[in-house]
Amino acid sequence: MSESSVVSDNQDIFLCVDHVGYAVPDMDAAIKLHTEVFGWHVVFRGKNEEQGVEEVMLATNGHDVTDRDAEIQLLAPLNEESTIGKWLAKNGGRGGIQQVAYRVADVEKAAEILASRGVKMLYDAPRHGTYGSRINFCHPKSTGGVLLELVERPADPEGFMPIV
């Protein structure tokens, strides 16, 4: 590929993988598996009513919210009509990978760049996500079949919500 045909690298949009999201039919059973078998630490548990989910974040390096590697997000539906409820129903009631989330410095800018390259963004404006982050999603039909989330974490660590 010649240099002139390269649109750009991804330095201006993605910082790293923020988390991988698993849809789970039973949150307590999923926590037990991921902590007792895989050794992850629960660093957050809460509900996001707008997204219709109960969520748990799992990290490798304890509770230092300012310096975490990629995390695992467990997502259980608050009701059958939620996106996770529908995803689980379509998957025969079994859990699995529902999304991959990329960390970004500026979610509006990242969404604008991606949209200009033909990616279908789900929201016109960022919505509220885990730890007080600002989030948006790329429709899986425009990403090769994977639901991609964009996550802009709050600059101020004080903005991170406590474990519930």
Judged by beta carbon, residue 4 or residue 22, the one nearer ligand V0V is 22
48-77 residues in contact with ligand V0V (CB under 6 A) are 48, 51, 53, 55, 73, 75
DSSP E strand stretches across the chain: 16-23, 41-48, 53-59, 71-77, 96-103, 127-128, 134-138, 148-152
The SS3 assignment for 19 reads: strand
Closest CA to 156 of 68, 66, 87: 66
Q: What is the Cα–Cα distance from 34 to 60, expressed in whole angstroms?
A: 11
Residue closer to ligand V0V by CB (options 3, 89) is 89
The smaller minimum CB distance to ligand V0V, of residues 30 and 73, is found at 73
> Which 78-107 residues touch ligand V0V, going by CB under 6 A?
83-84, 86-87, 98-99, 101
Q: How far is the CB of 63 from ligand V0V (least distance, A)?
A: 18
Q: Among positive and negative, which fits the CA dihedral 156, 157, 160, 162?
A: negative
- Site for ligand V0V, residues 118 to 157, rule: CB under 6 A: 122, 129-130, 133, 135, 137, 139-141, 145-147, 149
Strand partners, 102: 17, 150
Nearest-approach distance from CB 19 to ligand V0V, in angstroms: 7
User: Interface with ligand V0V includes 46 (CB under 6 A)?
Assistant: no
Distance CA 92, CA 159 (A): 38
The rounded distance, in Å, linking the Cα atoms of 47 and 125 is 21
Q: How far is the CB of 147 from ligand V0V (least distance, A)?
A: 4
Q: Would you tell me which residues interact with ligand V0V (CB under 6 A)?
A: 21, 48, 51, 53, 55, 73, 75, 83-84, 86-87, 98-99, 101, 122, 129-130, 133, 135, 137, 139-141, 145-147, 149
